[in-house]
Structures are given as C-alpha cells and as structure tokens.
Amino acid sequence: MEQYVIKGGNPLVGDVEIGGAKNAALPILAASTMTDETVYIENLPDVRDTNVLLDAMQAIGVMVKRTERHKVALNSGNITSLVVDTEGIKKIRASYYLLGAMLGKYKHAQVALPGGCDIGCRAIDQHIKGFRALGAEVVIEHGLIKASAQRLVGSHIYMDVSSVGATINVMMAAAMAEGVTIIENSAKEPHVVDLANFLNSMGANIKGAGTDVIRIKGVPRLHGSEYTIIPDQIEAGTFMFAAAVTKGDVTVKNVIPKHLESITAKLLEIGCEVEEADDCVRVVASKPLAHTQVKTLPYPGFPTDMQPQITVALALSKGTSIVTESIFENRFKYVDELTRMGANIKVEGNTAIIDGVEKYTGASISAPDLRAGAALVIAALAAEGISTVDDIKYIERGYEDFHLKLKNLGAQIELAQTEKEFQKFKLRVG
C-alpha cells in the first residue's frame, strides 16, 4: 500500500509553483462537451479527479488528446452515448457536471450519482430544482440521475443555499436554453467565474458570475475555444499554511493573490508575514503562531477546503482558538488523527475548540479525505520524529506531485510502496 513517510522538523524554504485549479478544471472539461468543435485547455492539473473525468468522457466518445502534461485537446463531435456510468465516475463529485453540460446541449443525459469526499451530507436538491425550473424532467433510478427535456426554457431560479455545484450545473444547462435565466444567490467562488469565462469564450452569454446574481442569455450553439484554467486557490493556500506550520519561508508562485485574501488575512492574524506581488505570495513564519477564530463561509469567506489546514496551524499556536465549520457537517474527521500526534482539540457539533500545544510528535495516521489528508501531511512535517500517512489516494485526487513539491522545499518526505522502502527511509533520515 502506498503511503507517505515523513520525518518532521525541517522548515519549508523556497519557491513552489501552483497548478491549475482542480475545481475549475472539472466543470470546464465537462462543458467542453457542449460544442462539436475542438476545445484546447491549458494549465490542466494532472490529478486523479480530472483524469477520472477525462476517462469517463472518453468512454462516451469524446476524443481526448493530451498534447502535454497540462494541455489537452477535446472534441465531442462524435459522442456515442449520453449515459455516463463508469466505475471511476461514481467516486468523483464532478461527474454530475456532465449532466448539466449534456442536458444543455442534447436535452438529455444520465449520469451515475456522484461520490466525492465523505465530508458530510452532499445534497443535490438545488441542482435538480434548477434543471426542473428550466423545464427538464429529473428522476433518480438505479443509481443514475436522469434528466431530459423537449426544450429548455430560461427561468428565474433562487438557490436556497449558495452551492458551487448547483450554480455551475444550472449555468451550463441554461447556457443553451431558450431565453434568459437568472440565478439568484449564486455561488461566487473563483472557479464559478472561471467556468463562466470559459463558456463565454465558447460563445455563451453569461453576465454577473462572481456576484450573487448570474444572468444567462441562452444561445443555440457553442463553438471551439482555447482556454487557460486559473491557478488553484486551495493548493496555494495549503502551501501557505505549510510554511506557517513548519516555521518556513515559502514563495507560492503562479497564483492570483486576490483569490487568497481570506487565507492571507488569517495568516497575518496568527503572526506570519505575507508579501504579495503580481502573481506570487511569500509567507514567512519567524514568530510563534498566535491563536484566532475562524468560520468557514462561501467565497469570499474563509474556504471550507482550508479548514483542516488552518486547524493544524492553530493547534500549534499559543492560546485557545475556535474553528467553526459552516459548510459541511462532517469535516472534523481528521481531528482524531491529529490528536494522536499530540493536538488538544475538542469538537462540539460544527465547532472545534483548540488549545494550542508546543509540538506534534510523529505517528501513523490515515488521510480521511483530500484536504484533511494534505493538512495531516503538513502536521507530520512539523512533528518531532517519523510519521506515516496512509490512504494518500485521497490526497492524489487534488494535489499534483504533492510530496515532490514539498521535497523541493526541503521536506523529508518519500512515497513508500513497501515496508522495505519505509525502512530504507528510516535509515537514511536517521
């Protein structure tokens, strides 16, 4: 079984290059099926979730040509099936983006019910409500969501919750509906804006993405495009907190600093120095970390996808901190693992009360999901002694070359497949 073996204690120092945003790439890949012409995507992250989606697209007849590691050409002119039901696709959340995309173009689609990280109840009622408002019939049968319509007609849709997935799905379907759709209380995350920009580059007419109200004037057809995906806000934030936790000095390159404002604000509050330039951010942690309070919120609030990473930092800070998770109710599962490394955290409902400790100590831990897995790796990098992190398949869903990028910053981390490799690492690091 693959695991990371880590010897903690080295401050991370140097530069790290951030890849394309996974959560923008997934809907953009799905939306490429909305034209018969070729779409060229750059800055595509080479991570498990995007690769699973590309495999599923290939299985329904999309021509997928990876011209370079981070570039792909896609042609959906000869799609052979509107049923997406591969084994892999059930494991990723973004499978349902093919529903919105294909419903928009073909007025019919069937997709296996989505999986994804187990971080709490992940309802899809707002997606279904949106599709129905556009005139589609939606049923769930035999593990598939089936959506079909004679015609899709623009509508006024109020989202009961700010949902990234539902905003994206409805935006895609509405892009090729007749007339105007208005989505109120839409999600404002950078990846929602990136998808809108991509659809507009294909000839869609979408205004207001990034605000609470998105206005979509449907068009009868979309055309090919060349598009570069935005940098990954969460990958960047993870490395920024890795610098803080290991008392390092890291310049995170190829980022949009505006997308990182809530993360930067919290790093400043806990005593780090943060320097911003046009497309990079430097984080220096030279003082002991201070405690703070944080509540996860939709963008531009502090992202739920950064909640485990900030908790790992606060558990090493002076004093008592409070972290409130307001998006997903089951996102503190990693706390037990962190406790095994010496953290002092009590979880009550959606709140973690954290009494800072002086240090972590190495332990054998498992990644319970993608972001928590990355956060536990950061904890291990700061811990005294050796740790092993299992179930790294979760981390690989969304971080490209995670351990290699960390290693490049001076971390003592290896990917070990066997006990022998683990022993070799132990001997080497002493």
Interface ranges with ligand EPZ (CB under 6 A): 23, 26, 93-94, 117, 119, 121-127, 161, 163-166, 187, 304-305, 327-328, 370-371, 398
Instruction: State which residue, 363 or 374, has the beta carbon closest to ligand EPZ.
Output: 374
Instruction: State which residue, 93 or 105, has the beta carbon closest to ligand EPZ.
Output: 93
Of the chain, the end-to-end C-alpha distance in Å amounts to: 23
Q: Which of 258, 260, 241, 259 is nearest to 250 (CA)?
A: 241
Return all residues near 313 (Cβ < 8 A) that are at least 6 apart.
Answer: 241, 244, 245, 270, 289
The count of other CB atoms within 10 Å of the CB of residue 287 is 11
Inter-CA distances, 202 with 9, 78, 98, 226, Å: 49, 18, 17, 9
Compute the least distance from the CB of residue 166 to ligand EPZ, in Å: 5
| 3-class secondary-structure state, position 362 | coil
C-alpha–C-alpha distance, residues 307 and 319, integer Å: 18
Compute the least distance from the CB of residue 190 to ligand EPZ, in Å: 11
Return all residues near 208 (Cβ < 8 A) that are at least 6 apart.
Answer: 186, 214, 215
Entry field: residues in the chain: 430
C-alpha–C-alpha distance, residues 156 and 193, integer Å: 19
Torsion angles phi and psi, residue 136, rounded to 5: -85, 150
C-alpha–C-alpha distance, residues 162 and 167, integer Å: 8
C-alpha–C-alpha distance, residues 328 and 342, integer Å: 25
| 3-class secondary-structure state, position 310 | helix
Q: Is 117 tagged catalytic? A: yes
Beta bridge partners of 318: 290
Compute the least distance from the CB of residue 385 to ligand EPZ, in Å: 28
| 3-class secondary-structure state, position 425 | helix
C-alpha–C-alpha distance, residues 96 and 133, integer Å: 17
C-alpha–C-alpha distance, residues 319 and 306, integer Å: 21
Contact 117, 139 (CB under 8 A): no
Compute the least distance from the CB of residue 214 to ligand EPZ, in Å: 14
The CB-nearest residue to ligand EPZ is 165
Instruction: State which residue, 301 or 410, has the beta carbon closest to ligand EPZ.
Output: 301
Compute the least distance from the CB of residue 14 to ligand EPZ, in Å: 25
Instruction: State which residue, 3 or 126, has the beta carbon closest to ligand EPZ.
Output: 126
Compute the least distance from the CB of residue 247 to ligand EPZ, in Å: 26
Instruction: Record the tokens describing residue 36, joined without a space.
Output: 């018969």
* Catalytic site residue from 117, 121, 272, 280: 117
Compute the least distance from the CB of residue 310 to ligand EPZ, in Å: 14
Instruction: State which residue, 121 or 427, has the beta carbon closest to ligand EPZ.
Output: 121
Q: Which residues are catalytic?
A: 117
